Chain A
Amino acid sequence: MSAFLVTRDLKTYFPIYQGAIFRKQIGAVKAVDGIDLQLRKGEILGLVGESGCGKSTLARTIMQLIPNTEGTVLLEGRDLSNLPKNSVRAERVNFQMIFQDPYASLNPRMTVFDALGEAIQTRRKLPKRMLLEKVALLMHTVGLPANQMRRYPHEFSGGQRQRIAIARALAPEPKLIIADEPVSALDVSIQSQILNLIANLRQRMELTMIFISHDISVVKYISDRIAVMYLGRLVEIGRANDVVERPMHPYTRALVSAVPVPDPERERRRQRILLQGDPPSPMDPPPGCPFHPRCPFAIAACKVSRPELEEKEHGRFAACIRIGEI
């Protein structure tokens, strides 16, 4: 498959210092700890994981909003991770981000026209008349009436603001969009509008996307493939339906099991896997497999060495030494 976006052994470590005057590094938060990803053009990759797993840090590292500590990020073969600072800015038109909080991600002092106009012009400068036309077209694309382009963000609802954020992400005609929990802050009836919009745009504009969410049913619906993250590493990756319906890795199985099904009869009948304890902190990862302290299938060997992501079936990868036994 021709890879559109590739990350190779991507690592983002945040150093922890001690001391006020003479600072000594005493450790590091290994937020992203060796991630290999490959995205095809036009693919939506869902990224799931719980708090502290590093999915947001991974997104920001790919976007070069946070510099990576090791490894590479290649977009269409171009290495983004080792560019000098000025060149990163030029590359930024090619990838855009949609954030979770529609109330925080739009500048409250810019009208829709200002925000979208600015985003459009990062790719090319346009005369005012053409700019107005483009902004109107963008707003129509996301289902907002163009005659509202002079309004400020506070005059819109949460769902509408998220549409503006999507329009802004589309404005510079990027090749890659990373959506970091774009619907989590929205009510379910608004969520479905935004999901339909994203699905529709993806089809029409051949967008490549990374869709980050903690909500596995949303991710299953919208993504082609799903990658599951735990403590800075990938534990499973495969086709969306496969990963959710026949999860391989014990963590994926627990994650899927934890989601309540909106069907009382199925809820009563199904088996549940309950994990003990809380999601771990990346400041103090356990030895061996990072999941072993909470894993219902852990054996002695799991505490010794960290399992690598291996192809278990065609197109399905998991990082667990006991797949097939459990």
Chain B
Amino acid sequence: MAILEIEDLRTYFYTRAGVVRAVDGVSFSLSQGETMGIVGESGSGKSVTCYSILGLIPRPPGKIVSGVARFDGIDLLSCSNRQLRAIRGKRISMIFQDPMTSLNPYMRISDQLVEPLVVHEGMSRSGALTRAVESLEELGIQDASSRIDFYPHQFSGGMRQRIMIAMALISRPEILIADEPTTALDVTVQAQILELIKQRQRELGTAVIFITHDLGVIASFCKYVKVMYAGRIVESAPTDELFARPMHPYSASLQQSIPALHQKGQPLYTIPGMPPDLTLEIEGCPFAPRCGQATAICREQRVALKEITSGHGTACIRFQRSELESLDGVLPQPSTFAVQKSRGHPERDSA
């Protein structure tokens, strides 16, 4: 059952350099209790999509140009501030990459944890404090009752992230949006945090949207995944399917670039060129200039995501027309080092 439905979301930023089309037609739905991953590189629009849903886009220069975000009968993109505040932090929560920017450095942890309970649930401060200590203990923080009065800087990065998760889950939200929550953490701490989120999610039945650039984390954590590029979803699939049978050259290229899947001495696959300039109107597929499978039609027509097999959709026009059936052996051979020029962008050179 879908609890969140996003339709044709477009968020643009009006800057002096031009109009940045950060999110340019994103649609998806999230079911109850589902773990959905959004994967993409910097500038793909994955974070802006989620910030838009929660009304966290600064306006100006940002503007939600179109779209609907349906949650429990309300359109989050056009509801009143009062309605949004009642949902944000209580029914839909978010955790961020850098715990130092989402935890107020001037407030004790106790105050920060107690705040959502007092505000959203009308609890008394002492009742809220008890609950806060419990939630920290559930997340494996030792001596919670004495350390709860510390300031954020007195905790390590991993601890702060756990505190942020405690804050986000304390009101038992229906949806948790996690924006690269482990990217800044050591890998052993990342493993702990992911286990923790999984466990709490199982206990609370929360749906999770997990934003990351790390395909390993997607494989480990998410049941469904959306791949974003240049502000659009280019492929949407169950995770197993995405890895087994990618249906978009970009998704396949991303997987091919991962060192973990290569033998030493075997040159890594590299995607030539650079992501497109989002201030320019892109004709056709945004990935075409860098795509080994692109043909004329790709540069002319832009198509929406279309389901090819059950639950597996792609925005690649050639797949939609059955001109491509699989990407095995079709990707160009791993490139040996060479200067690559991206097609269609004569001014740009490969990174």
Contacts and interface: CB of A to CB of B under 8 A. Distances in A.
B41 to A, nearest CB: 4
A200 interface: yes
Interface stretch (B10-18, B102-110, B211-219, B299-307): B211-219
Interface stretch (A74-82, A118-126, A154-162): A154-162
A260 B214 contact: yes
A255 B257 contact: no
Interface in A249-286: 254-255, 257-265, 267, 272, 274-276, 278-279
A258 B269 contact: no
B309 interface: no
A143 B339 contact: yes
A218 to B, nearest CB: 5
Interface of B: 41-42, 140, 156-159, 186-192, 194-195, 213-221, 239-240, 243, 253-255, 257-262, 264-265, 267-271, 274, 335-340, 349-351
A313 interface: no
A94 interface: no
A37 interface: no
A275 B187 contact: no
A272 B335 CA distance: 34
A116 B320 CA distance: 49
A240 B222 CA distance: 30
Nearest to B341: A145
A197 B243 CA distance: 27
A187 B41 contact: yes
A144 B349 contact: yes
Contact of B261 (A157, A195, A262): A262
User: Contact residue range for chain A?
Assistant: 35 or more
A21 interface: no
B268 A196 contact: yes
Name, among A50, A218, A263, A272, the residue most crowded by chain B CB atoms within 10 Å (CB to CB): A263
B264 A221 contact: yes
Contact of B267 (A190, A196, A216): A196
A18 interface: no
A255 B187 contact: yes
Contact of A258 (B41, B191, B213, B340): B191
Interface string A210-251: 000011111011100000000000000000110000000000
A144 B159 CA distance: 42
A267 B219 contact: yes
Contacts of A158: 351
A148 B348 CA distance: 11
Name, among B218, B258, B259, B351, the residue most crowded by chain A CB atoms within 10 Å (CB to CB): B351
Contacts of A199: 265, 267, 337
A191 interface: yes
Given A274-B191, A278-B156, A259 B338 contact: no
A262 B186 contact: no
A2 interface: no
A188 B254 contact: yes
A200 B191 contact: no
A38 interface: no
Interface in A178-217: 186-193, 195-197, 199-200, 214-217
Contact of A217 (B240, B253, B258, B335): B258
A262 B258 contact: yes
A305 interface: no
23 contacts: A50-B187, A143-B339, A144-B339, A159-B351, A187-B41, A188-B258, A189-B271, A191-B257, A191-B259, A192-B268, A193-B270, A193-B350, A196-B267, A217-B259, A221-B262, A221-B264, A258-B190, A259-B260, A260-B191, A260-B220, A262-B258, A263-B219, A264-B243
